[in-house]
Amino acid sequence: MKNIFVTLVFLSFLNAGEMPNLEAGEVKRIGAIIKDIGKLRIDNNKCQSQLNEEKQKNAVLRAEKDFENDLATSNKSLSKKVAELEKIIITLRKKNSGVTKENNTFPKLMMKEKYKEEVTAFKAAAFVLSTDSIIYSSIKGKKIDKWEKGTSFTSNKKSKNWIKITGYFVNKKWKISEVDMWVKIAQVSKK
């Protein structure tokens, strides 16, 4: 900065005519040097900004590489844990493969006799619902559907309070029931 100031002062003296000993060629040469210095500063600024961009790119590349290394390490660790768990599962299967019905420590659950309804078979017949009715998956089972009053069906099994739907009519065509369906017998009348 000092050099430029000194040069400018020097040039102002030249233009004022106070230094008559300098030739016109020298003045032009000094002017050209000043222009070159300005260009060099612009080039220097460009280089600095390119250097900063490269530093940022390198930082991003290093961060990506670090992330990839961390991911690879995590994958290796996960693979080891999975292998350990597989060994444990195989060991447990081997231990449990010897369990039979005879030595099973958990007894089979049975419904108490007082809650059971005896199901009896009879000759298949057609029935109709006398009210809108809920259809169940079994005697006292889960609700699976709701049928409207007047729906026709067939059955050949019943209990004291329930009747099994073995088939039903769709567009006046009989279709076999593919799942267990039960309805309360109080909601049914014979067709």
Residue 31: per-residue pLDDT: 84
Average of per-residue pLDDT across 148-171: 92
Per residue in 113-136, pLDDT tens? 656 678 899 999 999 999 999 999
Lowest-confidence segment of 34-48, 71-85, 100-114, 126-140 by average pLDDT: 100-114
Q: Look at 114 and 88; give whichever has higher pLDDT.
A: 88
Question: 150 by DSSP, 3-state: which?
Answer: coil
CB 164 within 8 A of CB 181: yes
What's the per-residue H, E or C state across 114-127? Answer: HHCCCCEEEEEEEE
CB 157 within 8 A of CB 123: no
Residue 18: per-residue pLDDT: 47
Q: Is residue 146 predicted with pLDDT exceeding 60?
A: yes
Q: Is residue 52 predicted with pLDDT exceeding 70?
A: yes
Lowest-confidence segment of 97-101, 112-116, 172-176 by average pLDDT: 97-101
CATH of 113-190, one of 1.10.3720.10, 3.50.50.60, 2.30.30.40, 3.40.50.620: 2.30.30.40
Q: Look at 94 and 55; give whichever has higher pLDDT.
A: 55
DSSP character string of 67-131: HHHHHHHHHHHHHHHHHHHHHHHHHHHHHHTT--TTT-SSPPP---GGG----EEEEEEEEEESS
DSSP letter for 25, please. H
Residue 181: per-residue pLDDT: 94
Q: Is residue 150 predicted with pLDDT exceeding 60?
A: yes
**Tokens 């000194």, residue?**
6
Q: Look at 19 and 24; give whichever has higher pLDDT.
A: 24
